[in-house]
C-alpha cells in the first residue's frame, strides 16, 4: 500500500488439499498470483522475494510459478528472480477458445538456495 492506494499483491498456495498445481507435495508452494500497479513495477521484486521467504519458512523446498508463453515480460521476470523453467505444456488450454493457442510454462525456484 502507498497510503490508501493499492500498489501490489501476491497470493501463495501451500499445503492445500485439491490444488493440483501443488503436485500433492508438502514441500512445494505455488505463487498463485503476483500483481502490481504499472507505476509501482518495482514492488513485484519485493513481493516475489517475500513470497519465497514466506514459503521457505514453512519448510518448502521449491516455489512454483505458472505463466503463459505469450507473457514474455513475466517469463523474463521469473528468470531474473532465479526461477528455472521446469515444464512446458503446449496444449493445456485447448478447451478454452480465447487462449487455446497459449502454452503453460511452469517455473520453479529452489528455496534451499535462499539464505
- Structural domain includes residue 39: yes
Report pLDDT for 115: 67
Residue 15: partners with Cβ closer than 8 Å, 6 or more residues away: 22, 26, 58
Distance of CA 53 to the CA centre of its chain: 13
- Structural domain includes residue 96: yes
Q: What percentage of the chain exceeds 90 in pLDDT?
A: 75
| pTM, to two decimals | 0.89
Distance separating alpha carbons of residues 43 and 114, to the nearest angstrom: 19
User: Of the given ranges (25-29, 56-60, 66-70, 94-98), which has the lowest mean pLDDT?
Assistant: 94-98
- Structural domain includes residue 69: yes
- Structural domain includes residue 55: yes
Q: Is the pLDDT of residue 47 over 70?
A: yes
What is the number of domains present in the chain?
Answer: 1
Strands 62-68 and 8-14: unpaired
- Structural domain includes residue 2: no
- Structural domain includes residue 71: yes
Whole domain around residue 69: which residue ranges? 8-113
- Structural domain includes residue 83: yes
Q: For residue 31, what is the domain's CATH number?
A: 3.40.630.30
Distance separating alpha carbons of residues 6 and 9, to the nearest angstrom: 8
User: Of the given ranges (28-32, 35-39, 82-86), which has the lowest mean pLDDT?
Assistant: 35-39
Q: Is the pLDDT of residue 41 over 80?
A: no
Report pLDDT for 114: 78
Q: CA nearest 111: which of 65, 60, 66, 75?
A: 60
Distance separating alpha carbons of residues 34 and 45, to the nearest angstrom: 10
- Structural domain includes residue 36: yes
Q: Is the pLDDT of residue 110 over 90?
A: yes
Amino acid at each position: 500500500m502507498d497510503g490508501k492506494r493499492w500498489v501490489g499483491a501476491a497470493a501463495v498456495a501451500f499445503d492445500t488439499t485439491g490444488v493440483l498445481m501443488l503436485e500433492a507435495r508438502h514441500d512445494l508452494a505455488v505463487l498463485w498470483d503476483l500483481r502490481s500497479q504499472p507505476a509501482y513495477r518495482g514492488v513485484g521484486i519485493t513481493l516475489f522475494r517475500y513470497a519465497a521467504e514466506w514459503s521457505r519458512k514453512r519448510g518448502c523446498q521449491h516455489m512454483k510459478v505458472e505463466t503463459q508463453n505469450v507473457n514474455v515480460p513475466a517469463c523474463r521476470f521469473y528468470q531474473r528472480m532465479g526461477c528455472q523453467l521446469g515444464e512446458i505444456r503446449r496444449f493445456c488450454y485447448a478447451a478454452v477458445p480465447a487462449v487455446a493457442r497459449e502454452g503453460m510454462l511452469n517455473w520453479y525456484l529452489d528455496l534451499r538456495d535462499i539464505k
